[in-house]
């Protein structure tokens, strides 16, 4: 048995996990090119999948055998009904149900090289209310996931205030492209909570631009400015992590890319699973790399692997 297989075989949560964020619908279509102004292009629909950053993470954790409290608002309407039924088939439940309003959806255009572009419509997932937050049970020593999509929405202030009131938790934030949209004052409050932050290559460039540093200096600047863990995902080139004076590079796992939808979310899910089991940042990122490699090799963002599938795929690693 390989070293990775031995670690994965012993993956058992020792910390509670709360996943807070969006469950939405992804309408996925192949596009030979992105549309330009005034054009009329023909799309080929791949499918209609459940998605949303938090839901993709909830699926990844579930399939890896990690139990989580899923706080994914589900409303009432055409899209919400599809989400509720799909979650039931995955044996997933949300502890948050909106009394009114439908869930959001997005059109995901996938180009021939697998790159994806989203056009999103918001729903109840960005309409957080204090009673929903008050009902959550977040014990000490928990891991709490949040997405930049919610933090950059009008409910960002509410969510940040809730986060500031939690005791002895570790927050994991994937800001996504919304890292450029969060106001400075709110960003200061969020980063004062010392979250673990995961960014992809493009988002890291946005962060470097925001704080006026060269791309290659972002990790050192991040530690000096915020003193919190930073993970930067470089897809086929693996990922790098920065934690205080330590840093490291974790190689990517082999993958044949067919669709990058959900790759970052699934990476976060794998990393969270490792952290929940008490693994080091480096080992947790390794698990994130493995899960992401599987997801980009399959269609749709909700296709995270089971532990057995990962063991089979990477038995020689």
pLDDT (tens digit, 9 = 90+) per residue, 69-104? 999 999 999 999 999 999 999 999 999 999 999 999
What is the rounded CA–CA span in Å between residue 269 and residue 56? 8
Structure tokens that stand for 37 in this block: 């102004």
Question: What pLDDT is stored for residue 311 in this prediction?
Answer: 84
pLDDT reading at 116 higher than 70? yes
pLDDT category of residue 163 using cuts at 50, 70 and 90:
very high
The DSSP bridge pattern shows strands 105-110 and 17-20 to be unpaired
pLDDT category of residue 316 using cuts at 50, 70 and 90:
low
Question: What pLDDT is stored for residue 289 in this prediction?
Answer: 96
Contact yes or no for 48/101 (Cβ under 8 A): no
pLDDT category of residue 37 using cuts at 50, 70 and 90:
very high
pLDDT category of residue 297 using cuts at 50, 70 and 90:
confident
pLDDT reading at 189 higher than 70? yes
Please calculate the CA angle 119-123-126 and round it to the nearest 5 degrees. 95
Question: What pLDDT is stored for residue 256 in this prediction?
Answer: 85
Alpha-carbon torsion angle 300, 301, 302, 306, nearest 10: 100
pLDDT reading at 315 higher than 80? no
> What is the mean predicted confidence (pLDDT) over 128-153?
97
């Amino acid at each position: 048995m390989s070293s990775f297989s031995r670690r994965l075989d012993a993956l058992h949560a020792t910390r509670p996990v709360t996943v807070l964020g969006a469950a939405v619908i992804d309408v996925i279509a192949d596009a030979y090119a992105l549309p330009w102004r005034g054009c009329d292009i023909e799309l080929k629909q791949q499918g209609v999948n459940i998605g949303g950053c938090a839901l993709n993470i909830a699926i990844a954790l579930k399939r890896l055998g990690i139990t989580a409290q899923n706080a994914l608002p589900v409303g009432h309407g055409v899209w919400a009904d599809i989400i509720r039924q799909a979650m039931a088939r995955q044996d997933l439940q949300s502890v948050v149900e909106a009394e009114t309003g439908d869930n959001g959806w997005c059109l995901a255009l996938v180009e021939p090289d697998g790159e994806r572009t989203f056009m999103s419509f918001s729903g109840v997932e960005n309409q957080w209310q204090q009673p929903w937050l008050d009902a959550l049970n977040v014990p000490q020593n928990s891991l709490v996931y949040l997405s930049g999509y919610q933090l950059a929405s009008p409910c960002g202030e509410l969510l940040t205030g809730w986060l500031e009131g939690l005791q002895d938790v570790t927050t994991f934030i994937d800001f996504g492209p919304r890292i450029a949209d969060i106001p400075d004052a709110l960003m200061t409050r969020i980063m004062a909570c010392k979250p673990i932050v995961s960014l992809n290559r493009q988002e890291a460039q946005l962060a470097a631009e925001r704080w006026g540093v060269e791309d290659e200096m972002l990790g050192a600047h991040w530690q000096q400015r915020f003193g919190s863990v930073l993970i930067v995902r470089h897809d086929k080139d693996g990922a790098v992590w920065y934690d205080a004076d330590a840093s490291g590079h974790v190689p990517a796992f082999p993958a044949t890319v067919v669709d990058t939808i959900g790759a970052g979310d699934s990476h976060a899910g794998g990393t969270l699973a490792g952290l929940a089991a008490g693994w080091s940042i480096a080992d947790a990122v390794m698990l994130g790399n493995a899960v992401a490699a599987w997801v980009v090799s399959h269609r749709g963002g909700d296709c995270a692997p089971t532990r057995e599938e990962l063991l089979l795929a990477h038995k020689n690693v």
